[in-house]
Amino acid sequence: MVSTNKPETREFQAEVKQLLDIVINSLYTDREVFLRELISNSADALEKLRYLKVTEKDIHDEDLPLQINIELDESAGTLSVIDTGIGMTRDELLENLGTIAHSGSRAFIQHLIDSDKKDVNLIGQFGLGFYASFMAADKVTVYTRSYRPYENGCIWTSDGSGTFTIEEASDLPRGTKIVVHLKDDAKEFTNTDTVKRIIKQYSGFVPFPIILEGEKVNTVQALWAKNKNEVEEEDYVEFYKYIANDFDEPLFRFHLTLDAPLAVNALLFVPKNNFEQHGFGRMEPGVNVYCRKVLIQEKFEGILPEWLRFLRGVVDSEELPLNVSRENMQDSALLSKLRRVISGRVLSFLNEKARKEPESYRDFWDKFAMFIKEGAASDFSHRDKLVKLLRFESSKSEPGALVSLDDYIERMQEGQEVIYYINGPTRETIESGPYLEAFREQGLEVIYTSEAVDDYIFGQLGEYEGKKLMSADQDDLELPGEKKTPAGEALAEDELKALTVWLKEKLGDDKVSEVRKSERLVDSPAMVLSPGGVTGSMQRMMQLMQKDVNNVSPKVLEINPRHSIIHGLNALRQKDEEFARVVGEQLFDNALIAAGLMLEPRQMVNRINGILERTLT
């Protein structure tokens, strides 16, 4: 390279000086991002050239391959980034690497000056990426030559201390070579492995070959930016394994391309396994955020709501970087818009899966239901779509098969306005209990909720598609169909009345708020109902939380006037009131057991033994 004129020394614009001063004198948490910035500038320059090749006739060094070379020289202590992009003319060089045009960049510099924490790592997002090289350099030299024929090359050099020199140079190839003369404490950037790792991490998807010591480092393509029908199935799988660090194939894949309401490409995956379900601790978010294929942040928490933390993949939006910094990104309006749009699409995708491929959705549900429930319970903005995804067993589903609320509504009887549900640990427990009896008689379907969070969601929801949601153990339940009179003779009204008053008195206000005749029971002697909409599962949760397992709030006790135990109790009351009281207590406790509220039954054993003794002697 022959210099054709004398180097000319120029001053940086005041803001650039201030910026360089901060960059040079700050401590860095991850200064390796300077390489990302230089590569990203090179990729931009190559992208522009690719475009010009279509529109311009005359391009200098037309046949040079479009690529980025990284050269390391340990003895000279330099790292060079060389591209064959559009290059810069002398005027462009003066303007681009000496002045600052964007007002956003100026504002950012002012922010850096004002704040105590000099978060220099962000400068790439503010159109100042080139200056990041001074985090690692004590001198930077730029060789560049424009694609325009008849333009000379130029050499730009600076140690970042306020001035730079510029001189013309002939016989440079098209493009830009940036030589970073590394500071003494930054010599690790001449190490091949280190540099390779950095390139893979931040620039792995840059759409031009990045060549380090003869080897292409970025081998996986940025599939998210491609057209769906241009991507092969196995490319998706390979991509997933690469970004999720997984050996298995993904369960689902979701490729999204949007122009409105905002420009975003996303490629998201549901893994095959949910380790959180198996107690391996909380899953870390696994979605990386890119801007035009350059990594902005890995595993970015704010890009999706927490309940979607099981997703793996990439979100790329060109709207993200310039005016957004990582520290205020968490609550930026743009970010919440992105989050809303993407999660809405993910939910539509899952709903579609559920409709078109119920079997694979079932597989998803068995593993990831907890996240959908978490979302339905906590994220008001997406609740409608989330609730559609919920699945349950029901009194009309085959054991093991699941139904949705929509399935339920489709099967509702004429005139039925309420969706009924009941909580219990298993199908067997629920079906052997007293609560289903009346529903069974009338052919009404009841959804079985297995977890307290299900009841919590239904309680919050109140209704679905205009149908009320009611727990079958609520005390104010009126079933719609005709009441059939069950077989057997009922206790006379006045005796029944006296029995309920007596029972209420013996059990006491702590246990029962009311004892009354049941219109619902068929086979069981008694059941407890929950006044005030506190369902059995909520009650159970409170007991567990208060660590007072048998502290049950007062219940409504309904007794079955046709049941032989009730007849017997009534007769016993008149012969041996004390023993009748004991039986009454046991009757109540049995109803608590059936409701799943007797969490510590051992204290009953003495009473039961007493009752056994009486029957055996």
Tell me, by CB under 6 A, how many residues bind ligand ADP. Answer: 17
Among 42, 218, 265, 471, the residue binding ligand ADP under the rule CB under 6 A is 42
Long-range contacts of 408-415 (CB under 8 A, 24+ apart): 408/445, 408/447, 409/464, 409/465, 409/467, 411/445, 412/445, 412/467, 413/443, 413/444, 413/480, 413/481, 415/480
In the chain, the amino acid numbered 201 is Q
Report the residue number, 80 or 474, with the smaller CB distance to ligand ADP.
Answer: 80
Considering only residues 111 to 130 of the shown chain, the ones binding ligand ADP according to CB under 6 A are 127-130
Residue 86 contacts ligand ADP per CB under 6 A? yes
Find residue 216's DSSP bridge partners.
211
Among 176, 203, 274, 539, the residue binding ligand ADP under the rule CB under 6 A is 176
Find the part of the chain contacting ligand ADP (CB under 6 A) among 86-94, 219-227, 234-242, 502-510.
Answer: 86-94
Among 39, 70, 88, 347, the residue binding ligand ADP under the rule CB under 6 A is 88
Reference 254, options 321, 191, 345, 150; nearest CA is 345
Two tokens at 329? 């990104």
Two tokens at 370? 């907890």
| 422 within 8 A of 394, measured Cβ to Cβ | no
Two tokens at 573? 């009351």
Find the part of the chain contacting ligand ADP (CB under 6 A) among 84-92, 332-340, 357-365, 606-614.
Answer: 84-92
Find the part of the chain contacting ligand ADP (CB under 6 A) among 85-93, 251-259, 348-356, 367-375.
Answer: 85-93
CB of 77 vs ligand ADP, minimal distance in Å:
21
Report the residue number, 151 or 455, with the smaller CB distance to ligand ADP.
Answer: 151
Report the residue number, 102 or 614, with the smaller CB distance to ligand ADP.
Answer: 102
Q: Is 466 helix (H, G, I), strand (E, B) or coil?
A: coil
Residue 291 contacts ligand ADP per CB under 6 A? no
The DSSP code for 313 is E
| 243 within 8 A of 313, measured Cβ to Cβ | yes
Cis status of the peptide bond prior to 261, with omega within 30 of 0: yes
Report the residue number, 152 or 381, with the smaller CB distance to ligand ADP.
Answer: 152
Residue 521: how many other CB atoms lie within 10 Å: 22
Count Cα atoms within 13 angstroms, Cβ side, for 171: 4
CB of 174 vs ligand ADP, minimal distance in Å:
10
Residue 96 contacts ligand ADP per CB under 6 A? yes
Find the part of the chain contacting ligand ADP (CB under 6 A) among 1-9, 41-49, 219-227, 312-320.
Answer: 41-49
The strand pair at 215-216 and 252-258 is best described as unpaired
Report the residue number, 104 or 358, with the smaller CB distance to ligand ADP.
Answer: 104
Residue 160 contacts ligand ADP per CB under 6 A? no
Q: At 550, phi and psi to the nearest 5? A: -105, 15
Residue 473 contacts ligand ADP per CB under 6 A? no
Report the residue number, 203 or 394, with the smaller CB distance to ligand ADP.
Answer: 203
Report the residue number, 43 or 587, with the smaller CB distance to ligand ADP.
Answer: 43
Binding site for ligand ADP (CB under 6 A): 37, 41-42, 45, 83, 85-88, 96-97, 127-131, 176
